[in-house]
Structure formats: C-alpha cells, structure tokens
Chain A
C-alpha cells in the first residue's frame, strides 16, 4: 500500500526538512546506524533512500506494482507483496527493525501484522494517523459525518483505511499482545512533536499522527 494512497501527505504535516518528510526523519532517527531494516509498505522508497544515506541496509515490501518498480529503478531492494499475507514468509529475527509507516490502518488484520513485525524484527517502528485527533472527533460529534481531513480526504466508501484507531487504542493493543513501547512521539498537524511532558489524553487529542518504537515485552 503506497503511503500516498493511504495518507496523502500533501498537507501541512508534510513539513519537509530538505527533501525528506518529517515523519520519515523521525523514524530514521530511531534506527541505529548499521542496522538491517525492512520497510513494510515502502511506497516509492523515500524512507529507504533516507535510510540508505545513513548507511542502513534497507529492504522494502510494497503492494502497488508501480511503487515497487519505481523503487527497484532507484536501485532499492524492494519486492512486491502484501503486509497481510507475505510477512509470514520471513524468518524470526531477520531484521533489526521492521517499519510500518502509515500502513497499519489499511491492513486487514492489524493485530496479526503487528505480531509479525515483532517476530521478524527485534524492534518495530509503527506510525499511523490518530483517529482521536480533535478535528476527527469534532466532525463526528458536530457534523455527524465520518471524519475527512486534509491528510485523509477519502470518503468512507472508497477509503483504503479499514482499521482506524486512536493512540489510546493502539497503546491498549500493545499492552494486550505484550509489546513494549520504547519510545512514542505524537506529531501535530504541522509535523511538530507534541511536548513529551503532556498527559496521554492530550496526545490523543492533539496528535495528528503517532510514531512508536516497539520491542518485544518480557514474558507475561
């Protein structure tokens, strides 16, 4: 699933630093140099290219044929595949990090996908649009419509995003499947991190998207 299809980031949150997207820079900053990374839903390979500039051995999976072919034509190691069905082919501990950027909400089985991410990778980095964002809430509460924003303009009947969640929902899922949150960052509408010292409910209200660095929790 290309990032563009799921979450057109042409809006304010695509605040660029040089040629790279803010959320990509944040993700890249979470990856230790010299590691081996799988980017699930790598789109046209922008994040992989960013990682490459930092000496990281990156691989990608992408659903759309056009996306894959553009990646391969950039010399990236990307294969055509589906997060829901193809992650099972990868062995345990194959990567240091597995990244799922703005794709979780478009998978058929987000929980299974998340479990697979942390089986294949020792760590996972997951980013997703927060459905608890105040603008979303307001549209449902006042307008009585399924929310549509600059970044998520699709209507309910043609959206690829079938499993929206809020930051709170995601945190609860992580607890349920014994996933440890090593780092979490909420980005506001302008791609700026919501200050760390604010409580969860503020993040859930003002975070337009969230980025989590996850690892396997100890046995329950």
Chain B
C-alpha cells in the first residue's frame, strides 16, 4: 500500500483498559443475585455492578440530587479528569463550580450505563459464570434497561425523588425514559438534542459503525478478548463515521475547509493530505484507547431499539399522561442527527399531556456536538430552568 498510514495503535494497553472495566477508579455499587436487573430481552442480569461518580453533597431532605445521563461514548467522568485519557470531564462546560449544575447547590450523580465499559457491567466485563469476558454472550440491553439500573443505584443511594435528570443525545433518551417510567421520581427533566425514538437514518449510521467493527478480522466474532487483541481499526472507522454525524457541513467547512495538513501540495497518495482527514483519524484512534468495541455494538443497538411511543400503543402523549415533571427541551439548529423536528414532536406530546414544558431551539452551526461545547445561550437556559425548578422545589439558602 503506497502512502497509507493506518490508524495508529492505541497508547494504552489492553490490561489498563480492562482494569477500568472490572475495577474502576470510580465508586461502585454491587448488586448481588438477590437483586437481579430484569432486562427487556427477558434475561435477569445478575450479579452486576454500576460505576458512578458523585459531586457535591446530598442535602438533609435529600431533595437536591441531579442525575446526569451520559451519551453513547461518554461515561461517569462528567466533571473530573478522565482516569484513562487524562482529559477534563466531558461536560465540564455545564457541570462544575460556577457552572449551571454546580456541586455547591446540587448532589450530582453520573453513572456509567449498563453495557458500558468504564466499570458498569457490560460485554467487556468478566462473566462470573464462565470466568471469561462476556463478549457477545452478554444480553442485548435497551435504554429502559439502563434507566432501570440507574433507578436501582438511586435507591441504593437512598434517594426517592431526583431534583433533575439531565442528558443529551443518548443521555437525553435516558432522561425521557426516566420521566416516562418513573414520573413521580423526576421533579425536573432537561432533555437536550435528543428524540423519543431513533430514526431510520440514525439506525442506518449505527449499522454502518457496527459493520465496520465486525469487518475487522481482529474482532473475532466478538471474542477478541480471548485472543488478547482489540479490533481498533474497525472501531476507529466506526467512530470516524459517527463523528461526521455529530458535526455539520458548515462547522467542518469553518474548521478545516479544504486546507492541507502540514503540506502545500497533494501527495498523490492516500495519506491524510487534508486537515479534515487527519482530524478524523485522530478522533478514531483516540477513541479506541478508551472504548470497548463490543460495548459500542451494544450501546448503539440500545439506541436503535428506543421508541417511547411504541411502548405506549403508538401514542407518544400516553407516555407522559398526567405527568407533573417540569420539562426543558433544547435542540440546536444545525443538528441533523437529532433535528429540531424530533424535539418538536416531543414538545407536542408534552403539550397534549398538559405538562409544564419549556422548549428552546438554539442557533449554532456546530451540529449535534453543540450540546457538549461552549454555547452560552444553552447554559443561560439550563441555569434559569434549574433555578426556576429549584424555587418550585424549595431548594433555597445553602442548597442553592
């Protein structure tokens, strides 16, 4: 192959990765055989564990807990340095001292989803029945399964009602699932750049990513752990494809245009001549350092299956009938993965249920990724929504 640089190998060893999988540096809640997780696929997952981070302190009447739900490739390290990558928390723009979700006011919880690979039980964990990595023997999980597991964690923490559940993208799906499954346990819900179901186009992109992983010979039918390798080439391609869907044409053009990477002229090869290529390759290779390939398959599958209306006789409004939760729905103009039309459909259903809902569409050219970036209007809205909900919840004085 002339001039082809493959995606670089990850800097972290398989050992280090598997250490975070089974023995995370986060707090861990263990659920023994007496407390199985009943999965939608009909399997009882047991025993299992949930890794989570907390920030701030729970107040005396346990009314200031905020649950942050992470997106597809996120994890529980929302506002602290990541133990594997050494990078800042993935949502430090929104969560942290002086931010709209400030640990001074709230007891903030963020857990790794079930099926994840940062300490909660998933396909990269050890199956206690065999003593080997689960791999594809791990049961298929759904967004409702993730939320059911989170509810068990919240019970374990002694919290009855969450002051707020907050999330974007797949995290937003969990927020909506929380409000539909446990309306009385959610005082307010901030659902960002999400939808009540995964669209055909989104399923198609996920299938592309999964096929890329499975096409990597190192995947070994999902049994790569037994071979001591990881299909990082396939996973990197999946990540590259997905990353394009998180951006917008305008953002890519603004960021990279047709500019060349460290060269003046084309090399007449398949090297990364363009900055945008180099950027995508970097995104792919840095992702495989911290993420398990099978976990990626399971979590994308969970998103594909998500359809709240289907679980309520096809009528979305039924999912939220009589709900008292205060909602804030936020979308971004250039997000074509979870477009405003999806948020609007949600808002219409909430209106039909007479729910208290705020809905803002924020103008930005940064695509789906905007929810993770520095978008001041989004922060103002989040802050005001939570403050107003806090007032209604009676969170005053030192709790605020």
Residues of A within 8 A of B (CB): 57, 59, 65, 68-69, 71-81, 86, 89-91, 94-95
Interface of A is mostly: mixed
Per-residue A-contact encoding for B342-359, CB less than 8 Å = 1, 0 else: 001001100110101111
Interchain CB contact (< 8 A) of A74 among B356, B357, B384: B384
In the bound complex, do residue B361 and residue A80 qualify as a contact, i.e. CB atoms below 8 Å apart? Answer: yes
Which chain B positions have C-beta within 8 A of A68?
359-361
Given A69-B377, A73-B380, answer yes or no on A89-B359 (Cβ-Cβ < 8 Å).
Answer: no
Closest 6 A/B residue pairs (Cβ): A75-B388, A79-B359, A75-B384, A89-B348, A72-B358, A73-B380
In the bound complex, do residue A94 and residue B377 qualify as a contact, i.e. CB atoms below 8 Å apart? Answer: no
Cβ-based interface call for B363 (8 A): yes
Which chain B positions have C-beta within 8 A of A95?
354
Cβ-based interface call for B381 (8 A): yes
Given A89-B352, A90-B351, A94-B354, answer yes or no on A75-B359 (Cβ-Cβ < 8 Å).
Answer: no
In the bound complex, do residue B380 and residue A86 qualify as a contact, i.e. CB atoms below 8 Å apart? Answer: no
In the bound complex, do residue A77 and residue B357 qualify as a contact, i.e. CB atoms below 8 Å apart? Answer: yes
Which chain A positions have C-beta within 8 A of B357?
59, 77, 79
In the bound complex, do residue B358 and residue A76 qualify as a contact, i.e. CB atoms below 8 Å apart? Answer: yes
- Return the chain B residue nearest A90 by Cβ: B351
Which chain B positions have C-beta within 8 A of A81?
347
Cβ-based interface call for B194 (8 A): no
Beyond contacts A59-B356, A79-B359, A90-B351: 17 other A-B pairs, Cβ-Cβ < 8 A, are A57-B356, A68-B359, A69-B360, A71-B358, A75-B384, A75-B391, A77-B326, A79-B358, A80-B344, A80-B359, A80-B360, A86-B348, A89-B348, A90-B352, A90-B354, A91-B354, A94-B354
Q: A91 vs B359: C-alpha distance in the bound complex, in angstroms?
A: 18
Given A69-B377, A69-B381, A72-B385, answer yes or no on A79-B356 (Cβ-Cβ < 8 Å).
Answer: no
| Residues 189-212 (chain B) with a chain A CB within 8 angstroms | none
Per-residue A-contact encoding for B374-400, CB less than 8 Å = 1, 0 else: 000100110011011001000000000
Given A69-B360, A72-B358, answer yes or no on A79-B351 (Cβ-Cβ < 8 Å).
Answer: yes
In the bound complex, do residue B384 and residue A72 qualify as a contact, i.e. CB atoms below 8 Å apart? Answer: yes
Question: Would you give the shortest CB distance from B143 to chain A, in whole angstroms?
Answer: 24
Question: Would you give the shortest CB distance from B165 to chain A, in whole angstroms?
Answer: 17
Q: A86 vs B347: C-alpha distance in the bound complex, in angstroms?
A: 10
Question: Would you give the shortest CB distance from A116 to chain B, in whole angstroms?
Answer: 13
Per-residue A-contact encoding for B256-284, CB less than 8 Å = 1, 0 else: 00000000000000000000000000000
Q: List 28 A-B contacts (CB under 8 A).
A: A57-B356, A59-B356, A65-B360, A65-B361, A68-B361, A69-B361, A72-B358, A72-B359, A72-B360, A72-B384, A73-B377, A73-B380, A73-B381, A75-B384, A75-B385, A76-B358, A76-B388, A77-B326, A77-B358, A78-B359, A79-B329, A79-B358, A80-B359, A80-B360, A86-B348, A89-B351, A89-B352, A90-B354
Which chain A positions have C-beta within 8 A of B361?
65, 68-69, 80
Which chain A positions have C-beta within 8 A of B388?
75-76
In the bound complex, do residue A72 and residue B354 qualify as a contact, i.e. CB atoms below 8 Å apart? Answer: no
- Return the chain B residue nearest A75 by Cβ: B388
Interchain CB contact (< 8 A) of B362 among A69, A74, A78, A94: A69
Q: A215 vs B366: C-alpha distance in the bound complex, in angstroms?
A: 47
Which chain B positions have C-beta within 8 A of A79?
329, 347, 351, 357-359
Question: Would you give the shortest CB distance from A4 to chain B, in whole angstroms?
Answer: 19
In the bound complex, do residue A77 and residue B356 qualify as a contact, i.e. CB atoms below 8 Å apart? Answer: yes
Question: Would you give the shortest CB distance from A170 to chain B, in whole angstroms?
Answer: 27
Q: A74 vs B387: C-alpha distance in the bound complex, in angstroms?
A: 9
Q: A71 vs B357: C-alpha distance in the bound complex, in angstroms?
A: 12
Q: A138 vs B352: C-alpha distance in the bound complex, in angstroms?
A: 46
Q: A95 vs B391: C-alpha distance in the bound complex, in angstroms?
A: 23
Which chain A positions have C-beta within 8 A of B153?
none
Cβ-based interface call for B51 (8 A): no
In the bound complex, do residue B351 and residue A78 qualify as a contact, i.e. CB atoms below 8 Å apart? Answer: no
- Return the chain B residue nearest A89 by Cβ: B348
Cβ-based interface call for B328 (8 A): yes
Q: A72 vs B354: C-alpha distance in the bound complex, in angstroms?
A: 18
Q: A94 vs B317: C-alpha distance in the bound complex, in angstroms?
A: 14
Which chain A positions have C-beta within 8 A of B344?
80
Q: A71 vs B351: C-alpha distance in the bound complex, in angstroms?
A: 17
Question: Would you give the shortest CB distance from A71 to chain B, in whole angstroms?
Answer: 8
Q: A74 vs B352: C-alpha distance in the bound complex, in angstroms?
A: 24
Q: A89 vs B391: C-alpha distance in the bound complex, in angstroms?
A: 29
Which chain A positions have C-beta within 8 A of B352?
89-91
Q: A71 vs B361: C-alpha distance in the bound complex, in angstroms?
A: 12
In the bound complex, do residue B328 and residue A72 qualify as a contact, i.e. CB atoms below 8 Å apart? Answer: yes
- Return the chain B residue nearest A71 by Cβ: B358
- Return the chain B residue nearest A93 by Cβ: B354
Q: A177 vs B377: C-alpha distance in the bound complex, in angstroms?
A: 43
Which chain B positions have C-beta within 8 A of A57?
356
Which chain B positions have C-beta within 8 A of A69?
360-362, 377, 381
Which chain A positions have C-beta within 8 A of B362?
69
Which chain B positions have C-beta within 8 A of A89?
348, 351-352
Given A69-B377, A89-B351, A90-B351, answer yes or no on A75-B387 (Cβ-Cβ < 8 Å).
Answer: yes
Question: Would you give the shortest CB distance from B199 to chain A, in whole angstroms?
Answer: 21
Given A72-B358, A74-B384, A78-B358, answer yes or no on A65-B351 (Cβ-Cβ < 8 Å).
Answer: no
- Return the chain B residue nearest A58 by Cβ: B356
